[in-house]
Every structure is written in structure tokens, then in C-alpha cells.
Structure 1
Amino acid sequence: MGHQFVQGFARTVLGGAVSAGIPLVGPVRFLKKFPEHLRFDTSPISVNSVQLGDRQFRLDFRASVDLSPFFLQGVVEEGLRLTRVVPVLRVARHSPISFTLHVTW
């Protein structure tokens, strides 16, 4: 569902403009800035992005509600594809309200 969400957004006027610029951003900057895109006043989700190597990141997600990692996994994966890399994501579930995405490309 996360893949479809990003693809649908990319078909909007605003999404088309954002999607056109994402390849210029690149995967490293995309992942470093990803937490800022989820930061809203009322968002129950927080994320910490940690770079582990040249092509390796860890995204730690926490929420105040039950959280399925698969939607956000799809969002991150599809966003990285827009940067023109082939990402590999692995989910490590810690509890109903936290999980980690291990990202490489």
C-alpha cells in the first residue's frame, strides 16, 4: 500500500514536482531528511535515521499507536526508487509500536 501511496502522490501536480527533484537529492539525503517528512504536530509517529555506511541506513520508528511497518516500508522503498537506486529493506519488529527498517542499495 505504501508503494501505491507514493505512486499516487507522484501523479498529482505537487507530487510530480517533488518526484522530478528526488533524483537530484539522492538516496543518502532522502533518508537523512525522511524523519522531517513525518514530523507533524499531531503525528503519532517518530523516526530516527542513522547512516551506518556509504549505502546503508537504519530507520527506527516509534509510535503512540499500533504501527504496521509494511506501509512505511513501501513508502521508503518507493521513494528510494525515485532516487534511481534499487533498495533492499528488511523489517525488524520490536513491539506493536516500534520497528526498525534496515536499508541498503
Structure 2
Amino acid sequence: MQDSFSGRATQGSFFEGLFIRSLQATGAFADALRDCGFDPRKPKALYPIEVWNAALEVAWRYCYPGKDRESAYHEMGRLLGAGFLQTWMGKVVDMGLPMLGPDRFFARIPSLLALDTFRYDVKVLPLGWHHYRVSFRNDPDAKPDLMAGVLEAVLRRTGVNPTATVTMRRERDFDLEVTW
């Protein structure tokens, strides 16, 4: 993308899911999002990753002023997952989730994450009954707490009540453990 320093981008449906459908950005919050490059009244199909990163920080500041970044991002991840499933792209994903079930969902995580425009390495390892580790490697915009919340929201659609915990975090790498 020409407006992106890094060349990486984020799907507009992620912006729609979080900022329009879930957080329903209006007023000063919407103005601050516009200032960083996302106009909730005129969503686009694709945004530079730098706009996504800035918009998440704006949401943290406006919607979660008393929470630490990790807690706020985890909650935003839940809202992102739920809101994304209401977008046209998300509805396609959502149609099969209840029939898929959690175990088959985990087998498909790498292909589902291909919806992202950047290809990082994702591995899923079963650790026991109702217990998985999802490892993300080489993600230059790693947001482990956000991804933990997204996994919880999407997994709920398979009929379970999951908990996703960040068990390892480094600059570009992180592990999530998910149980239910």
C-alpha cells in the first residue's frame, strides 16, 4: 500500500467489525479515529497497518481509560471477533462455525488467519482434552491480547465457552493457550 510505511495492510471488515458494529464510534471518539486515518462514516476495503495500530490505541484511550493495554486489547479482541462475524465477510465465516465445532475450528485456524493481508507463521498444537496452543511467529504487529479475545469470540460460535491466555510474548512472537 502506498500510504503504508511497512507495506502491510488490514482488511476494512476488521475496522467495520470493531469500530462500527461493536464500539459504534461517534462524537469525539469518531473524530479521533478520523484523525488517525479511519472515517467510520466512509469505510474502505483496506487500510495501512499503521492506521489499524493507531485506531486501536485511540479505542483504548476512549473506551477503556481505566484499563491496562493488555486487558483493553483482550476485550477489544472479543468485540472485534463478534463484530467481524456481523460483516459480510464474517457472515461467510460464521455460517460454518456452529457445525464445525471447536476441534475442527483449531485445525482451520491457519487458513482462517489467511484473511489477514500479512502472512505470519501460525501453528496449532493440541495439548490435551479441550486445550490447544496457538503459536504466532514473525508477526511484526503482534497483538497477543487482541488475538486472544478474537479467538474467544469466534470459538463461542462453535458452542463452547473458551478462555484464551497469553503464555509467551516477544516482540514478533507469541503463544496463546486456549481451554474450555
Residue 22 (1) aligns with residue 22 (2): no
Equivalent in the alignment of 1:7 = 82
Q: Which segments of 5 or more consecutive residues in structure 1 lack a partner in the other structure?
A: none
Residue 100 (1) aligns with residue 163 (2): no
Equivalent in the alignment of 2:150 = 75
Quick one: which amino acid aligns to residue 83 of structure 1? T
How do 1:40-59 residues align onto structure 2 when only pairs under 5 Å count? 43-59=118-134
After the TM superposition, which segments of 4 or more aligned residues of structure 1 sit over 3 Å from their partners? 39-42
Q: Distance in 2 between matches of 1:33 and 1:52?
A: 17
Q: Give the structure with the higher percent strand.
A: 1
Q: Distance in 2 between matches of 1:41 and 1:5?
A: 14
TM value normalised by structure 1: 0.85
8 Å CA contact 1:44, 1:65 repeated in 2: no
8 Å CA contact 2:136, 2:175 repeated in 1: yes
Quick one: which amino acid aligns to residue 162 of structure 2? P
Q: Give the structure with the higher percent helix.
A: 2
Taking every aligned residue pair, what percent have the same amino acid on both sides?
A: 37
CA-to-aligned-CA distance 1:21-71 (integer Å, 9 cap, x gap)? 201000001111101122369514221001122211110111241412011
Equivalent in the alignment of 2:37 = none
Q: Please identify the structure whose Cα radius of gyration is greater.
A: 2
RCO comparison, higher one (Cα < 8 Å, 6+): 1
TM value normalised by structure 2: 0.52
Q: Which segments of 5 or more consecutive residues in structure 2 lack a partner in the other structure?
A: 1-75
